């Protein structure tokens, strides 16, 4: 029948109508700003992640403050640990006066309203560059690693972490960390589990930022196979039963179907991490003049939220929050 009775374009006719009928709305409150830091006195621009910086302790405080002023209410910290502090068991994770605990205390004193998320894994601290303890035959030792991760989580909680985020993909670590935290009176410290963390090629620039690439082998025996979606739901079921407060899919953009599936099967908040390779593709294409950088950054994050993410970790967080606030 022509002319048509149904005209969906009516709801697109003006900016006011498009705003009124929009199904998914991205806000600054959805975003988490990842921050890299080291113990050096100077801030270092990252060659592997143009536009990002490995912050000095003082510089990181300024970066966190700018994120908060833009409307970003949470940051997640990733340390580059000096080589002389690394060993095969990541002993430095238990140092109460280490780089992360010192930074947490400084952030909490200066910006108590900012939510502080900490990474729990051994790779930045390990001389082997793996998320767990490496046996002589190259196997990653699950249970021995979990014991160390519990110590790491407790150090971070004592220093002021609001959310502990284990990214290691060891089996049973959520339950063990929950028991350890509760046993020391940290019942209110949340766990954001990297529930479906894939063995992805998109992590390369991040590993360059932290000098945390594996010295031998790869992470395929503990991170998930990129071809699997149903396995993510099994990991979700386990993390829920072990006491996770939030769950995460990583990477985000190439795994929108996994985000949607996880969202459908849980009542917990779902996070997604737009990782370094995703960020770098946008930056590189924009610098070549092929893409509108701001528009593509916004659209990519809107797509991640539309897929079902409640929380999005992205290197564009502070900048995008500023754009959304215009």
Does the residue 166 lie in any domain? yes
- Catalytic member of 80, 86, 219, 250: 250
Residue 220 known to be catalytic: no
Q: What is the spatial distance between Cα 195 and Cα 98, in angstroms, rounded to a whole number?
A: 27
Q: Catalytic annotation on 80?
A: no
User: Sign of the CA dihedral 8, 13, 18, 21?
Assistant: negative
Residues 121, 108: Cα–Cα separation, whole Å: 22
Decide if 66 is inside a domain: yes
Question: Tokens standing for 18?
Answer: 């498009």
Per-residue confidence (pLDDT) for residue 215, from 0 to 100:
82
Asked whether residue 93 is assigned to any structural domain, the reply reads: yes
Quick: pLDDT tens for 115-136. 999 999 999 999 998 999 999 9
Q: In whole angstroms, give the CA distance from residue 191 to residue 31.
A: 17
Q: Which CATH number does the domain housing residue 219 bear?
A: 3.20.20.70
For residues 252 and 230, give the distance between their C-alpha atoms in angstroms, rounded to a whole number: 16
| Mean of all residue pLDDT scores within the chain | 95
Q: Is residue 293 a part of any domain in this protein?
A: no
pTM for this model (two decimals): 0.95
In the prediction, which pLDDT does 256 show? Answer: 98
* Number of independent structural domains in the chain: 1
In a domain, 227, yes or no: yes
Cis peptide before 3 (omega within 30 of 0): yes
Alpha-carbon distance of 283 to 280, in angstroms, equals: 5
Domain that includes residue 196, residue range: 26-246
Q: What is the pLDDT of residue 326?
A: 66
Residue 111, Ramachandran bin (φ over 0: left; ψ between -120 and 50: alpha; else beta): beta
Judging by DSSP bridges, how do beta strands 140-141 and 133-134 pair with one another?
antiparallel
Residue 321, domain member (yes or no): no
In a domain, 148, yes or no: yes
Q: How far apart are CA 121 and CA 82, in angstroms?
A: 16
The pLDDT of residue 214: 80
State whether residue 274 is helix, strand or coil.
strand
Whether 119 contacts 177, CB under 8 Å: no
- Do the Cβ atoms of 154 and 164 come closer than 8 Å? no
| pLDDT digits 0-9 by tens, 187-222 | 999 999 999 999 999 998 877 766 767 888 899 999
Predicted local distance difference test score (pLDDT) of residue 241: 98
Q: What is the pLDDT of residue 210?
A: 66
User: What is the distance between the alpha carbons of residues 238 and 252, in angstroms, rounded to a whole number?
Assistant: 21
Instruction: List the catalytic residue out of 80, 197, 219, 305.
Output: 197
Closest by CA to 323, choosing from 31, 2, 14, is 31
From first to last of its 326 residues, what are the pLDDT tens digits of the chain? 678 889 999 999 999 999 999 999 999 999 999 999 999 999 999 988 999 999 999 999 999 999 999 999 999 999 999 999 999 999 999 999 999 999 999 999 999 999 999 999 999 999 998 999 999 999 999 999 999 999 999 999 999 999 999 999 999 999 999 999 999 999 999 999 999 999 999 998 877 766 767 888 899 999 999 999 999 999 999 999 999 999 999 999 999 999 999 999 999 999 999 999 999 999 999 999 999 999 999 999 999 999 999 999 999 999 999 999 86
């Amino acid at each position: 029948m022509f002319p048509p009775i149904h005209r969906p374009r009516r709801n697109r006719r003006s900016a006011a109508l498009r705003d009124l009928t929009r199904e998914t709305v991205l806000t600054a409150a959805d975003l988490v700003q990842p921050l890299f830091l080291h113990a050096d006195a100077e801030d270092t621009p990252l060659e592997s992640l143009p536009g990002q910086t490995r912050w000095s302790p003082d510089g990181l405080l300024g970066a966190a403050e700018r994120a908060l002023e833009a409307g970003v209410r949470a940051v997640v910290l990733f340390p580059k640990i000096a080589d002389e502090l690394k060993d095969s068991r990541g002993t430095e994770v238990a140092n109460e006066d280490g780089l992360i605990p010192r930074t947490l205390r400084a952030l909490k004193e200066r910006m108590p309203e900012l939510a502080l998320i900490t990474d729990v894994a051994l790779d930045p601290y390990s001389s082997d560059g793996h998320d767990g303890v490496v046996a002589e035959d190259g196997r990653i030792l699950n249970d021995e690693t979990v014991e160390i991760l519990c110590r790491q989580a407790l150090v971070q909680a004592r220093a002021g972490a609001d959310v502990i985020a284990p990214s290691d993909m060891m089996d049973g670590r959520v339950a063990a960390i929950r028991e350890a935290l509760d046993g020391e009176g940290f019942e209110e410290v949340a766990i954001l589990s990297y529930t479906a963390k894939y063995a992805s090629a998109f992590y390369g620039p991040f590993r360059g930022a932290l000098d945390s690439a594996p010295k031998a082998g790869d992470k395929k025996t503990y991170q998930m196979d990129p071809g699997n979606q149903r396995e993510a739901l099994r990991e979700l079921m386990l993390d829920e039963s072990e006491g996770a407060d939030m769950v995460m899919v990583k990477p985000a953009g190439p795994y929108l179907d996994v985000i949607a599936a996880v969202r459908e099967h849980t009542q917990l908040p779902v996070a997604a991490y737009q990782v370094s390779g995703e960020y770098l593709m946008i930056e590189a294409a924009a610098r070549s003049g092929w893409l509108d950088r701001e528009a593509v950054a916004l659209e990519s994050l809107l797509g991640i939220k539309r897929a079902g993410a409640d929380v999005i970790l992205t290197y564009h967080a502070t900048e995008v929050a500023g754009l959304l606030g215009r």
